[in-house]
Structure 1
Amino acid sequence: MKYRISILLAFLGFFAQAQEQLTLKDAVNYALQNKAEAVKARLEVENSEYQIDEVRANALPQISANGGLTYNAIIPQMALVMGDQVQVIQMGTPWQSNATLSLNQQLFNQAVFTGLKAAKTTREFYKINAQLTEEQVIEKVANSYYEVYKTESQLKTIDKTIDNTTRVRDVIQSLFDNGLAKKIDLDRTNVTLNNLKSNRQQLVNALQLQENALKYLIGMDMNQDIKMPENTFEVTKHALVDESTNIENRTEIKVLDKQSELLALNKKATMAQGYPSLSMNANFGYNGFGDTFPWFAKPADGVYWSGTSAIGLNLSIPIFNGGSIRAKVRQAQVDIEKLEVDKRDTRLALDMSLKNAITQLNNSLISLNTQNENVNLAKEVLDNVENNYKVGLATLTDLLDAETSYADAQNNHTNALLDYKVAEVQLIKAKGELKSLTQE
C-alpha cells in the first residue's frame, strides 16, 4: 500500500508541472493506478481473500451462546389418576431461565473441503484476470496515445505548410503590387491558404477529442494539460518472433486454464453432495427455575439451578435424491467440455493474431520506408518548383501542387508511422509482453 501511495504522489507531482511531457510509459502506469477497470480488478483480488476466509470458516468450530428468560403467567396443570383418585399436578414454576454454550465441528464434509480448494483457486483466477485486465488497459492506452501523437504530427505538418504557403503568398503579393503577377494567382493562393487554416482548425478539434479520450482511458482529470515528447514516434528495433513462439504464456490461456480448475472443483463439490458427512456437536448450559425472578437468586430464595451437558456425533448418509445430484454432475461436466471448446478456439485465435502481427509489422515497415522516401522526393520537387517559379519557369499551379504533394507525403508518412506503432503493440501483445510498455 505504501508503494502504491508513493507512485500516486509521484504522478500527482509529475502532472502538476505543466511543462512536463507525458510519455507512453507514464500514461500506461498512470492508467494502471487510476483507471476504473484496473482498480476494480485489484479489488477483486482483495475480495478473494475474504471469500477464502468465509469458506474456511465452515471448516472451523462453530460456537454459539444462547440464553432465555420465561415468566409463566398461567402455569399449565396435568391430571394424574392414581387408583380411584385424581390428582392435579402443576407443570413447572412461574419463572424459568436457561443459558447454553453450543459447539459444532465438521469432522468429514467433502463439500466443505472442496469449497476451500475452490476458494483458493478463485484467488489465483482473480490475480490472473487482474493481469489480463491490465494488459487490456495497456493496449487501449497505447493505441489512443499513438492516435493523439499522429494528430499532433499532422498539425505540425499543416502548420509548416501554412507557413510555406504564407511565404509564397507574400511573394506573390509583392509581385502583384509591382505589376509582375496576376490577381488570379494571388486569389488562388489566398483560397489555398484559407483552406489550410480551415483544415488546421479541424485537426485542432480532433486533437482535443483524442486527448480527452486518452485522459479518460488513463483516468486523468479532463482539465489536466498533457504534452507529448518529440521522440514518441521513433521507429524502434523490435525483435520478431519465430514459429516456435509459445502462446501458452498468453494471459488469456492462463485465465482459461484456471477456469478449468474451477469447473473441475465445482464438479467435485457437486459430487460431494452425495457423500456421507460427519460432524460433532457439544453443549453445556444451566437451567434455572423458581417462584421468583431467577437471576442472581439462590435456593434460599426458592430458585434452583442445574447444569446440563451433552456431546454427540451426527452422521448423514444420502440414500436417494431422485437423481438430482447425478443431473447436476452431468451439467458440470458439460460446462467443462464447453470450456475446452473455448480453449481450442482461443488458441487458434491467438495463433492467428501472432502470425498476423508479424505480417502486419513487416508490411508496415516496408510502407514506412516507402513513405520516408516519398517525403524526401516531395521535398526535392517542392524546392525545385519553388526556385523555378521565382524565375518564371513554373506556374503557380505547379507550385501549389508541389506544396500539396509534400504535405500529403508528410501525412502519409505520419500515418505509416502510426500503423507501424500499432502493429508493434499488437506484436508485443501477441508475444504476451504488454507489461514491458510500463518499463520502457
Structure 2
Amino acid sequence: MKLVNIHKLLLLMLFLLLKMEIASGQVWTLKQCIDTALVHNNNLESGRNSIAIGKEREKEAKAHLLPKVTANADYKYFTDLPYQLMPLSTFNPAASEGQFNEIQFGVPHNINANLQIALPLYSADINGAIRNTKLALELSELKYQKSEEEVYYEISNLYYNAKIISHQLNFVKANLKNAEKLLENLQSLKDEKLATGTDVSKIELQVSQLKNQEQNLSYKYGQINNALKFTMGVSLDLNMEIETDIRFEESLQEESGIILDYQIAKTQEQLIQSEISTLNQSRFIPNVNLVGSYGTTGFGYDQSPNEFLKFFPMSFVGLQLSYPIFNKGVTKRKLKQKQFELENNALQQELISEANAMKIENAEMQKDMTKKSLLTTEEQIALAQKIYNESLLQKNEGLVNLTEVLLAENALREAQQANLTAIIDYLKADLELKKLRGNIRNINY
C-alpha cells in the first residue's frame, strides 16, 4: 500500500482545480466538497505526515544493516610513565622465585589513529526493527484510509443536512409569501366589512411565526455551512453555496469492501507477533558482527640527544559475538506482556466483527424503514396539497371558514417537512450502510 505516492499527483491536480473553482464562486457539489477536504483537511495532512515519518523510520532501520565506519585519534603525554612488575629472575637468573623489580615502560608521547569498521552479519534486534517499521508503516496507511473514510462520511452528512435545511428554508419562504398575500387580501376584505379582525389576527400570527422560523433556519444553515467549511479545511469567509437538488436513487446492493477497523486490528496482531519473534530470537541466537581496524601507533621521546617520533602500523579483522547470559528476566517479562496484548487483540478483532455485523443489520432495517416512510410522505404531500387547494376554493365560495384553510395549510407544511426528513434519513441510512460495509467512497454524487 503506497497511498502517499498515489495521492501526490492527484492531490496537486485537485489543489489547482479547486483553486480555480473557489475563485469562480460557483455552487459546490458534494464531490467538490469531498475533493477539497482530501487536499486541505488538517487530519488528513497529519496522516500524510505520519506516513512520511513511517517511511523514514523504515529507512532508518534498514540503514543499520550498512557497515559503520568510525575514525578515532588520540594523543597522550605521560607525565609519569606506567609501572610494571617484572620477575627479578628475568635480569638475574640466580634470583629466587617470587622476587620482582618495578620497571617503567614506554615513552612520554603516545599517538593513536585508526579507522574502525563494524558490519552486522546477524542481529535479531535490527531484523526485528525492519519488520516492525514496515508493519507500522502499513498501520499508518490503514489509519490514513480510515481518516479518509471519516472525512467522506462527515462531509456527506453535513452536506445532506445543509440540503435539508435549504429546502426547509425554501418551503418556509414560499409559505410566508402566501401568508403575506393572504393577509393583504384579508385586510382589504376587512376594510370592506367582509372579514373579521380575528381572521386578520390569525394570519398576522402565522406571518410572525413563519418569519421567526425563517430566521432560525437561516442561522442553522449558516452553522452547518461553517461546519462544512471547517471540515473541508477552507476559510470560513468563503462564500459557498451547495447544490439544492436532492437525488435519492436507490443504490444497488454492494458487496462488503475492506473493513478498515478489522484490517487495522489484524495488522496490529502481525506487529505484536513480530515483536514476540524478535524477543525470542534475541534470547537464543547471538548477534554476530564483522569488525576490523586499520591504523597506526606513534611513540615519541623529546629528551636530548635521543629525540625521536616513530609510527607503527596496527590492523586487525575479526568476528564479534554477543549473547545474553542473564538479564534479570527482562525478556521473559516482555514476552508475557506481548502474550496479553495478543489476547486483547484477538478479543478486539472478534468484537469488531460482531459489532459491525450487528450495525449492518440495524442499518439495513433503518434504510428499509426510511424507504417506506419516503413513499408514504410523498402520498401524504399529494393528498395534503389536494385538500389545501379544495379548501381555498371552498373559502372563496364561502363554504368553509379561514380556520379550516389554515389547518389544511399546516397539514401541507407538515407533510412537506416529513417528506424532507424521510429523504435525509434515507440518505443518511444509505451513507451509514456504505461506511459499515467499507464502500463509503462509492457515494451517489
TM-score by length of 1: 0.90
Q: Measure, in 1, the Cα distance between the counterparts of 2:244 and 2:153.
A: 21
Q: Measure, in 2, the Cα distance between the counterparts of 1:428 and 1:86.
A: 92
For the structure 1 residues 79 and 313, does the alpha-carbon distance in structure 2 shift closer, same or farther, using more than 3 Å as the test? closer
Q: Which amino acid aligns with 1:118?
A: N
1:140-289 matched pairs, under 5 angstroms: 140-231=154-245, 233-240=246-253, 245=255, 249-275=258-284, 276-289=286-299
Would you identify which runs of 4 or more consecutive aligned residues in structure 1 move more than 6 Å?
79-88
Answer whether contact 1:78 1:91 (CA < 8 A) is retained: no
Q: Measure, in 2, the Cα distance between the counterparts of 1:267 and 1:87.
A: 56
Q: Measure, in 1, the Cα distance between the counterparts of 2:70 and 2:51.
A: 31
Shift of residue 134, structure 1, vs aligned partner: 0.7
For the structure 1 residues 246 and 198, does the alpha-carbon distance in structure 2 shift closer, same or farther, using more than 3 Å as the test? closer
Shift of residue 253, structure 1, vs aligned partner: 1.7
Q: Measure, in 1, the Cα distance between the counterparts of 2:196 and 2:375.
A: 41
Q: Which amino acid aligns with 1:302?
A: F
Residue 124 in 1 paired to residue 159 in 2?
no
Any stretches of 5+ residues in structure 2 without a counterpart? 1-7
Any stretches of 5+ residues in structure 1 without a counterpart? 293-299
Q: Once the two structures are superposed, what CA deviation does each residue of 1:296-352 show, in whole Å capped at 9, x if it has no partner?
A: xxxx98322222112221122333334332232122122111101110110001111
Q: Which amino acid aligns with 2:61?
A: V
For the structure 1 residues 79 and 430, does the alpha-carbon distance in structure 2 shift closer, same or farther, using more than 3 Å as the test? closer
Residue in 2 that maps onto 1:429: 435
Give the match's secondary structure for 2:434: helix
Q: Measure, in 1, the Cα distance between the counterparts of 2:342 and 2:151.
A: 29
Q: Measure, in 1, the Cα distance between the counterparts of 2:247 and 2:193.
A: 48
Answer whether contact 2:256 2:439 (CA < 8 A) is retained: no
1:64 to 45, 54, 70: 70
Shift of residue 375, structure 1, vs aligned partner: 1.2
For the structure 1 residues 343 and 79, does the alpha-carbon distance in structure 2 shift closer, same or farther, using more than 3 Å as the test? closer
Q: Measure, in 1, the Cα distance between the counterparts of 2:193 and 2:84.
A: 138
Answer whether contact 2:298 2:311 (CA < 8 A) is retained: yes
Give the match's secondary structure for 2:64: helix
Give the match's secondary structure for 2:24: coil
For the structure 1 residues 51 and 88, does the alpha-carbon distance in structure 2 shift closer, same or farther, using more than 3 Å as the test? closer
Quick check: 74-83 or 201-210, which moved more? 74-83
Shift of residue 164, structure 1, vs aligned partner: 0.9
Q: Which amino acid aligns with 2:247?
A: E
Answer whether contact 1:141 1:214 (CA < 8 A) is retained: yes
Q: Which amino acid aligns with 1:45?
A: I
For the structure 1 residues 267 and 180, does the alpha-carbon distance in structure 2 shift closer, same or farther, using more than 3 Å as the test? same
Q: Percent identity between the aligned chains?
A: 23
Report the number of matched residues: 424
Shift of residue 274, structure 1, vs aligned partner: 0.6
Q: Once the two structures are superposed, what CA deviation does each residue of 1:266-293 show, in whole Å capped at 9, x if it has no partner?
A: 111121221222112111112334357x
Shift of residue 62, structure 1, vs aligned partner: 1.4
Residue in 2 that maps onto 1:296: none
Q: Measure, in 1, the Cα distance between the counterparts of 2:215 and 2:52.
A: 48
Answer whether contact 1:75 1:91 (CA < 8 A) is retained: no
Q: Once the two structures are superposed, what CA deviation does each residue of 1:129-155 show, in whole Å capped at 9, x if it has no partner?
A: 211111111111111111111111110
Q: Once the two structures are superposed, what CA deviation does each residue of 1:100-155 show, in whole Å capped at 9, x if it has no partner?
A: 21111111222321221222222222222211111111111111111111111110
Answer whether contact 2:27 2:240 (CA < 8 A) is retained: yes
Residue in 2 that maps onto 1:329: 335
Residue in 2 that maps onto 1:3: 10
For the structure 1 residues 86 and 40, does the alpha-carbon distance in structure 2 shift closer, same or farther, using more than 3 Å as the test? closer
Shift of residue 87, structure 1, vs aligned partner: 8.8
Shift of residue 436, structure 1, vs aligned partner: 2.0
Q: Which amino acid aligns with 2:15?
A: L
Give the match's secondary structure for 1:22: coil
Residue 341 in 1 paired to residue 350 in 2?
no
Quick check: 323-332 or 36-45, which moved more? 323-332
TM-score by length of 2: 0.89
Residue 13 in 1 paired to residue 26 in 2?
no
Shift of residue 90, structure 1, vs aligned partner: 7.0
Q: Which amino acid aligns with 2:321?
A: L
Q: Measure, in 2, the Cα distance between the counterparts of 1:141 and 1:68.
A: 65
